[in-house]
Amino acid sequence: MSEQIAAVILGAGKGTRMKSDLPKVMMPLCGKPMIRHPIDTLEEMGVEKIVVVTAPDGELVRREVAPHQSCIQEKQLGTGHAVLSAKEQMQGFAGAVLVIFGDNPIITKETYKMAADKLKEGYAVVVLGFRPEDPARYGRLIVEDGELRKIVEFKDATDAEKAINLCNSGCMCFDGRRMFEILEQIGNENAAGEYYLTDAVAVARKMGLKCAVVECSAEEVAGANTREELALLESFLNKRKGK
C-alpha cells in the first residue's frame, strides 16, 4: 500500500438546524469556519490531495477551501452518491483515501493516520468506530476475528447487536485502487431512495475484500448539527489546547 493519502470531505449540508443561512460547514468554530479545521489537520499531515464535495449553491464553501479542489453534488442522493461526485478529481489516485464529514471537524491527524495505516494490512475499507457513553441510535459495527463483518443500523439491529457498544462514526478510509469500484455498486433500494456510504462494507465483502475498524474517542468524532453541539465542539477543542 502506498504511503500517499488523499481526502474527500463531504461539505454539502445546509445550516438549517443551525438556524443560519450559511452552509453548515461555514459556521464559525473557534474563530474560523468549521471546514477549515479538518483541512488544516490534513494540510499539517501533508496529504497529497483534498477534494471537498459541495452543494450547487456552495460557492462560499468552494471559495473557502481553494486552492484545494471542490466538486458539486448536483442532487442530494445520499453519502455514497456524494463521494462518487469526486470521482473525476480522484481519478488515478491509488493511495489511501479518507472520506470524512465537514461537520466532524476535530478528528486528529493521529486518527487519520491510524486509519490509513490499517489499509496496509490488506484491508480495502477501514471504518472509524467509537464507543459512546450512550450508544443510543448509532449504527453498530459487527466485528468477528478482527474483521468488520457488517454495519447494522440501530433500527435493523437485533437485541444482541444493540448490546454492542462499538458504533459507526460515518468516517472511512478506502484503498484508492478499489474505492470507486466499490461505491459504484452501492444500490438505493431503501425507503429514502438514497445511496448510503455505509453500504460500502457489504459491497466490499461481497467482492471478497476485507474490512476493518479502527477506534478513537467519542469526543473526537463529535459532530455539529445544532448551535448547542457547535458550542460543545468548541469546548472540546479548547480543552485539547489546554484553555
| Whole-number Å distance between alpha carbons of 101 and 92 | 23
Other Cβ atoms less than 10 A from the Cβ of 168: the count is 24
Q: Three-state SS for 53? A: strand
17 in active site: yes
Going along 55-201, which residue ranges are E strands? 69-72, 96-101, 125-130, 140-144, 147-152, 167-175
Helix (H, G, I), strand (E, B) or coil at 211: strand
Catalytic residue (choose from 17, 63, 137, 240): 17
Classified as helix, coil or strand, 171 is strand
Long-range own/partner contacts, residues 155-164 (CB < 8 A, 24 or more apart): 162/135, 164/135, 164/140
Catalytic residues: 17
